[in-house]
Structure 1
Amino acid sequence: MSALLEPPIRQEFVYAAPPPAGVAVERPLSRWQRLGQHALWRKAFILLGLALLWEGAARWTHNDLLLPSFLQTAQAFIGGIASGELLTRTAASLFVLLQGYAVGVLAAFVLTLLAVSSRIGRDVLETLTAMLNPLPAIALLPLALLWFGLGRASLIFVIVHSVMWPLALNTYAGFQGVPETLRMAGRNYGLSGLRLVLHILVPGALPSIVSGLKIGWAFAWRTLIAAELVFGTTSGQGGLGWYIFQNRNELYTDKVFAGLAAVIVIGLLVENIGFRSLERVTLKRWGMQR
């Protein structure tokens, strides 16, 4: 009797709620879409496309003296690394570049600190940048040769000129863009002078400072290669620009392109490893970049 009074047991079902009207349903990404979300793979595909265009143009011209193919250039590049010649030339250029770049960065920060500290310093910075920033660094090479002779000092001089002014302008513009609220907050905490610059202005101007460092690096790198193309050796050892110039005279066009490829590879490594790491530990850490 009690069994007849028990309600029947119904089978349970789970129904998925329909998506709200007007809301798109997210679908799982395909393999190619997942690859497309990584900047490294996107850039690799771009480089692959450029290499294919290069190879096609070389085969169309069919003149190795004017335009060697990508494969010939790659062979010359690997051969230069295997023989050690390309590595030696690159190391010589980078050693000079780092010296000039460091001096230029130091000089730019000193000028900028003077500009934010006094009105006279600001006038000096504005006057010098208006005069010297439009002046190409390579145009000072004849004077550098006259003053410092045929050596490393002349290269460092033109590199300092190419780095100093764009970095000083970017840094000063970044300091000027720091909100007055942050400056007042720093003063309320008793900060002034150099402490105010280091704890308030520098963190607030980090995007402009890093941008100036990147611009200064690019200017310095191309100025060094151009200067080495003009007079070549420094202290009896030529750099990467001299390597390009020598092979151009000997009509080794594949080695010329290999030297240019070395310039490009170094630029890519510095941009994607050096400055990206710098941005990661500065801009993103301070909350200045998403």
Structure 2
Amino acid sequence: GDIGKAFVTAFTERELGTMVLHSLSLIIKGLIVGIALALVFSSLSVISETFYTIYNMIVSMCDLIPGIALIPVAILWIGVGDGAIIFMVIHAVVWPMSRSIIDGFNAVPELYLEVGRNIGLSPVKLIFGVFLPAALPRIFSGIKVGWARAWRGLISAEMIFGGGGALGIGYFIQDRRTNTDIAGVFAAIIVIVIIGMVVEYGIFRNIENKTFRKWGMTR
């Protein structure tokens, strides 16, 4: 009853809707940057054995650091606001993505690589023509893991210091808690769950069914 009323009221007044859109805009920006960085660095690890050793060690170490532990660092380096939150999202995405991409590259059959080399593909063309297509299922798996971690990290960061201009669904939860509006808190939690389910089953699952499973790359 109260939760339903809070849910309807928050959306009819456009407050919760605005907060959700702001959070989604931040996570999309962070995902784009995080995925791009992971692809670039993981591809470089294919070209250079030394870089592979160093970067693999960095990934193993940084992947163990909880995003929440980096909030003070983000505040000191970037300040309080959207930039710090995007930094948190990038941290949540880039390491699991890199791990998935590197694992995918390592799983590419040697036969594919030999064929590529025999037809004269340069290291860069080998990455785009052999490594990336063969590793697509693992790359996509890394994106899913990165999204889940980034979504949780985003909400946590917003709850601690809010988004720019006091926006974001995490800030909304914290604001409702401060005002002892428990119904509003649960309404926001329901929205978080709904968004997670829509992304997982409405977007990721559809992409898998229409691409990798259709092509026989995954079961």
- Give TM-score, length-normalised by structure 2: 0.94
User: Paired residue for 1:287?
Assistant: 216
Deviation at 1:78, TM superposition (A): 2.3
User: Paired residue for 1:159?
Assistant: 89
2: CA distance, partners of 1:207 / 1:264: 25
* Correspondence for 2:175 among 240, 246, 260: 246
Aligned amino acid, residue 191 of structure 2? A
Would the aligned equivalents of 1:229 and 1:244 in 2 still touch at CA under 8 Å? yes
Aligned amino acid, residue 11 of structure 2? I
User: Paired residue for 1:257?
Assistant: 186
User: Paired residue for 1:140?
Assistant: 70
Q: How many pairs were matched up?
A: 219
Higher relative CO (CA 8 A, sep ≥ 6), structure 1 or 2?
2
Would the aligned equivalents of 1:105 and 1:164 in 2 still touch at CA under 8 Å? yes
Deviation at 1:149, TM superposition (A): 1.0
User: Paired residue for 2:144?
Assistant: 214
Structure with the bigger percentage of helix = 2
Would the aligned equivalents of 1:138 and 1:223 in 2 still touch at CA under 8 Å? yes
User: Paired residue for 1:268?
Assistant: 197
1:191 aligned onto 2:121? yes
2: CA distance, partners of 1:191 / 1:286: 25
Deviation at 1:180, TM superposition (A): 0.9
Deviation at 1:179, TM superposition (A): 1.1
* Correspondence for 2:51 among 107, 114, 121: 121
The runs of 5 or more residues in structure 1 that have no matched partner are: 1-70
Aligned amino acid, residue 184 of structure 2? K
User: Paired residue for 2:103?
Assistant: 173
The runs of 5 or more residues in structure 2 that have no matched partner are: none
SS in 2 for 1:205: helix
Aligned amino acid, residue 37 of structure 2? A
1: CA distance, partners of 2:139 / 2:214: 15
Would the aligned equivalents of 1:203 and 1:286 in 2 still touch at CA under 8 Å? no
- Quote the sequence identity (%): 38
Deviation at 1:192, TM superposition (A): 2.9
